[in-house]
Amino acid sequence: MSADAPRRRTRRRRILLFAAGAAAASLSLSACGDGASGGSAQTRFVQGKDGVDTVKKADRQPAPDLSGETTTGKQLDVADYKGKVVILNVWGSWCGPCIAEAPNFAKVAKETEGKGVQFLGINTRDSQKSQATSFEEEHKVPYPSLFDPTGRLMLRFPKGSLNPQSIPSTIAIDRHGKIAARSIGPLTEDELRSMVKPLIAEK
């Protein structure tokens, strides 16, 4: 083995860590803000007056692989809920707007659980699971969340899709596993219902 091999491995590790940090930093720039909802000419989404952007059924893109460990240490795969409407909320325990909208999500999740709707979360930028679980207990969050401290799951959303661009963001996935709607920023109960209701009615 070359004497330089350990140095090369160390250099590669540093490069990988830098890349991961840069990805997380790009997300943190819009954290707890109303990041731009733009995109390429291929986005084909309609910006709603209520802050919810929607995509026509024919133009929807499949949701990416969103799987991993939850804040409580269990395994979760969003794809397992195909056949249901999935409302996916991106949040952090440190985020003021996330705290403000948490009761709205808890209430609407309970209202719609018998209507083929599954609420899920992606917890991001909390370094410890205990930070996330304390938030969930305090705000009585009735659904599980994937633990994603570095924001890697957000980077899996396809370019030009309705991808999460700030914290909080909310993504609606239709019964066929396709991205149907998105909201950037916190949602009221009525705004959340306006996102869910049309998808419940779809067949």
pLDDT tier at 196, thresholds 50, 70, 90: very high
pLDDT at residue 2 in the model: 52
What DSSP designation does 178 have?
B
Place of tokens 């599954």: 118
Q: How many Å apart are CA 97 and CA 100, to the nearest integer?
A: 5
Q: Are 98 and 167 in contact (CB under 8 A)?
A: yes
pTM of the model: 0.78
Q: Of 21 and 199, which is predicted with more confidence?
A: 199
Q: How many Å apart are CA 137 and CA 92, to the nearest integer?
A: 14
3-state secondary structure of 105: helix
Q: Radius of gyration of the chain from Cα atoms?
A: 18
Name residues whose C-beta falls within 8 Å of residue 190's C-beta, 6 or more positions apart in sequence.
none
pLDDT at residue 122 in the model: 97
Cβ atoms < 10 Å from Cβ of 54: 20
pLDDT in tens, 43-54: 454 544 556 899
Strand 179-184 to strand 117-124: parallel, antiparallel, or no bridges (unpaired)? unpaired
pLDDT in tens, 92-101: 999 999 999 9
